[in-house]
Chains A and B, each alone.
Chain A
Amino acid sequence: MSTSVSPAGTAPAVRDRDDRVKTRSFSSRLLSRPEIGSLIGALAVFALFAAVAPTFRQASSLATVAYAGSTIGIMAVAVALLMIGGEFDLSAGVVVTTTALTAATFSYQLRLNLWVGVGVSLLVALAIGAFNGWLLMRTGLPSFLITLGTFFMLQGINLGVTKLLTGGVSSSAVSDMDGWDSARAVFASTISIGGVGVRITVFWWILFVAIATWTLLRTRVGNWIFAVGGDAPSARAVGVPVKRTKIGLFMTVGFCGWFVGMHQLFSFDSIQSGGGVGQEFIYIIAAVVGGCLLTGGYGSAVGSAIGALIFGMTSLGIVYAGWDANWFKLFLGVMLLLATIVNLVVKNHAAKR
């Protein structure tokens, strides 16, 4: 597989070198991609449910699966970037609820256009991300602990502030306020494609995954993300701004949390203040199934999308197949273990070629 450089003159040598760069076979390069394990898993899950549940094969069901995938996937792509950067965010689930509550409560209490609340909650989401990142870099504590702290803090704020302002456990209905229709069009509309209604989040999801993939693989920031996750001291030694990169990643999680929060708000009108708890693990599972290493420095945005899609297919496939939905969590756990083992085996195998 490896050829040596020919000691010929410069012009042919250049061509030789270029040839040499391409010597790894296509299959080995394909297998060394982080998302390959999850792709195999996704095809297997799809084949299983397509076989046992005829409804699963209908276009409308697939659109629903894609929608389920998108609400997980939009967060999972940010969580995947963060994990490639070597950190966790356990507050990723509740931050979604926090942003939705902020937007609804702010606009409702001050009788403002909903877009103002949307803007304010974006600032709040970015600030939460920046706080997580700043505290992490400042203290050097594991991100697991710091975000566990913000997780509980946000959960308490969500419940406490909502109770204080509305006396209940959900935010006030905002569907009759200014800006509802336009915001709903952006965050929670349905677009008809060939008679099949596809939720707009699916398109946003595809866009975010595309941007994240391009950023990771083709920009300087992407290079830095891999570097700070792979070996932060080494990255710092060659001039990579480790702090800025990591804080930026936490803010990206905040941004995506805000987006999903807005989607929930404009889909459901009012938001339960206790929501979002436990979702952070679903995002992490999607990222890990998609090939992210828990230790950082390795993974892909597309993989997180495939992971989210597996999640969507499983959660709905079980229903379409008429199975007891209580088995879903078992299935999820098995998927997680299988995917990580497959990833490990495939990666080791590809590295040896």
Chain B
Amino acid sequence: MSTDTHERTGSSGHSPNTEILRLSDVGKSYGNVHALRGVSLSVRQGEITCVLGDNGAGKSTLIKIIAGLHQHTEGTVEVNGEQVRFTSPRESLERGIATVYQDLALVPLMSIWRNFFLGAELRTGVGPFKHLDVKRMMQITDEELTKMGINVPDLERPVGALSGGQRQCIAIARAIYFGAKVLILDEPTAALGVKQSGVVLKYVAKARDAGLGVIFITHNPHHAYLVGNHFVILNRGHVSLDKPRQEITLDELTNEMAGGAELAALSHELSVPGETPENAAALAAPHENAR
């Protein structure tokens, strides 16, 4: 499962793109607890790799290893073919891996343009009179947001006044502008409504089209299937499914995501006389999606 990921995606024909990030047999244990075992993953330019999994499946641990918050205890992580081991988020960032967490790292009371350039402010002037180049920062912020199709009435508006989807988009736009090559999105649609999720997904697709490698973490198979090129399902710390888009349908993905065999057993247990287990499974699947 680990080494053939590469060839399979390559042979499936749609992506001659170069591989940016590669995880081979990565594992992480906290003392006796194996949070992650033998996970292999490949991220390519201009592709979206979806990582799905239930709560506690190891998604967060996986992101944290790639983002440099945790270190893996087994296996190897390679960026552009070079083996790396991140000890801080900054190192990961320097390699062009940007993580957009659920809390987005935006400061709600600050204006949009200030948030966009926070920590990487443009300055002009000399010596003690060095000051923010407000005009240029506002112009760039506006250009970048417009490029990605976000309309905000006023860049001076505090980020807290924007909708969740808009905030998500600003965080992603910021990561792209500051030279991210790999974008990790941690459940970007989890807290959003249907329409806003759509906006964010469009935006994720734009990031892909801009040539970034995207890791899209979600537990919504519908959202994943809309944009994903490759699907990896984590289950209790190991990979239970790893397939390119061509080899899987939404139903299979949903079913697999919902627990597959476990769900069948569950539906059998729950089945009421007069109803077939299949019906129960069909009922259970949308319920899983609604979360």
Contact = CB atoms under 8 A, between A and B. Distances in A.
Q: A and B: real partners?
A: yes
Interface of A: 1-5, 13, 17, 20-21, 23-24, 29, 214, 218-220, 222-223, 226-227, 230-231, 233-235, 237-240, 293, 297-298, 351
> For the complex, would chain B's binding face be called helix, strand, loop or mixed by DSSP majority?
loop
A234 B105 CA distance: 4
A225 to B, nearest CB: 11
Given A218-B134, A351-B161, A238 B155 contact: no
Nearest to B99: A237
Given A21-B155, A218-B132, A227-B118, 4 more contacts: A29-B156, A223-B114, A226-B114, A230-B109
A-B pairs with lowest CB-CB distance, top 3: A2-B153, A239-B119, A238-B119
Interface in B110-134: 110, 114, 117-121, 123, 130-132, 134
Contacts of A4: 151
A27 to B, nearest CB: 14
30 contacts: A2-B154, A3-B153, A4-B151, A5-B146, A17-B146, A20-B142, A20-B153, A23-B153, A23-B154, A24-B154, A24-B157, A29-B156, A214-B131, A218-B131, A218-B134, A219-B123, A220-B130, A220-B132, A222-B132, A227-B107, A227-B114, A227-B118, A231-B106, A235-B107, A237-B101, A237-B105, A238-B105, A297-B108, A297-B109, A351-B161
B136 interface: no
Interface of B: 89-90, 93, 101, 103-110, 114, 117-121, 123, 130-132, 134, 138, 142-143, 146, 151, 153-158, 161
Main secondary structure of the interface of A (DSSP, over half): helix
Contacts of A13: 146
A2 B151 CA distance: 9
A4 B145 CA distance: 13
A218 B122 CA distance: 11
A227 B143 CA distance: 23
Contacts of A1: 153
A298 B109 contact: yes
Nearest to B146: A5
Contacts of B132: 218-220, 222-223
B155 A231 contact: no
Contacts of B143: 17
Given A219-B132, A231-B108, A297-B110, A239 B156 contact: no
Contacts of A237: 89, 101, 105
B110 A239 contact: no
A5 B89 contact: no
B153 A5 contact: no
Contacts of B101: 237
Contact of A17 (B93, B110, B117, B142): B142
